[in-house]
């Protein structure tokens, strides 16, 4: 995703001390990156949708047809709710370390509050909440940036159609370095220099 101020502004926390509610932070070299508060907002949006997918009655989940772009333009049938649950869980497994994943499982999947988590995992309250912030930041970033199908924006994940995507021209191939062909003078070696007929 190309992070622009118009995208991050709505997600940023008004009281954020790092970005002052703008959602972007300046890096060295003049580049800008989304603030942690933006990634945490993305996590919360996706987590709400995840809870909705997990808790809704199974007969409400429906099969949807998704068209593919490309030369044959075939499509596939899929169950988006189940795909979202699987992607959400796979990203947690991929980006979190073992310690963070245990907290993720207890707190976000099983619903244990901080008192129960700190007692079971034998840690203090500060360590627990620091880990929760890290989890939200890591997963929110991955939800927004994972290719080719980001979980955020959630509406695009569930309703993406090829014609709704921005179609860009493909990048030109990298310029090849100029090559000097090797032509051994075989003819001249065998027959000598060519002379024009008089």
Note the residues at the interface with Zn ion (CB under 5 A): 16, 18-19, 35, 37
Min dist. Cβ of residue 131 to Zn ion (A): 19
44 contacts: CB under 8 Å, gap ≥ 6: 136, 140
Q: How far is CA 134 from CA 21, 59, 95, 131, 139, in A?
A: 20, 35, 11, 5, 8
Min dist. Cβ of residue 38 to Zn ion (A): 6
Min dist. Cβ of residue 134 to Zn ion (A): 15
18/105 with CB nearer Zn ion: 18
Min dist. Cβ of residue 40 to Zn ion (A): 9
Closest CA to 34 of 15, 20, 47, 19: 19
Min dist. Cβ of residue 7 to Zn ion (A): 13
45/53 with CB nearer Zn ion: 45
Q: Residue 126 corresponds to which tokens in the numbers above? A: 């500060």
C-alpha–C-alpha distance, residues 184 and 166, integer Å: 51
C-alpha–C-alpha distance, residues 21 and 12, integer Å: 5
Closest CA to 91 of 156, 17, 146, 27: 146
8/118 with CB nearer Zn ion: 8
37/139 with CB nearer Zn ion: 37
CB-CB neighbours of 126 under 10 Å: 9
16/123 with CB nearer Zn ion: 16
């Amino acid at each position: 995703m190309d992070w622009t101020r118009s995208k991050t502004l709505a997600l940023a926390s008004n009281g954020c001390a790092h970005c002052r509610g703008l959602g972007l932070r300046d890096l060295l070299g003049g580049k800008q990156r989304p603030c942690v508060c933006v990634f945490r907002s993305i996590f919360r949006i996706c987590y709400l949708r995840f809870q909705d997918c997990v808790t809704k009655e199974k007969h409400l989940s429906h099969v949807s047809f998704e068209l593919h772009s490309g030369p044959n333009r075939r499509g596939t049938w899929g169950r988006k709710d189940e795909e979202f649950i699987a992607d959400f869980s796979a990203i947690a497994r991929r980006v979190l370390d073992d310690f963070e994943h245990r907290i993720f499982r207890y707190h976000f999947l099983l619903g244990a509050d901080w008192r129960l988590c700190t007692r079971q995992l034998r840690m203090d309250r500060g360590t627990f909440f620091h880990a929760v912030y890290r989890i939200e930041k890591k997963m929110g970033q991955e939800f927004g940036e994972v290719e080719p199908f980001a979980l955020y924006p959630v509406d695009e994940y569930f309703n993406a159609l090829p014609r709704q995507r921005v179609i860009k021209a493909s990048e030109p191939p990298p310029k090849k370095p100029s090559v000097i062909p090797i032509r051994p003078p075989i003819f001249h070696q065998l027959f000598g220099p060519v002379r024009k007929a008089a």
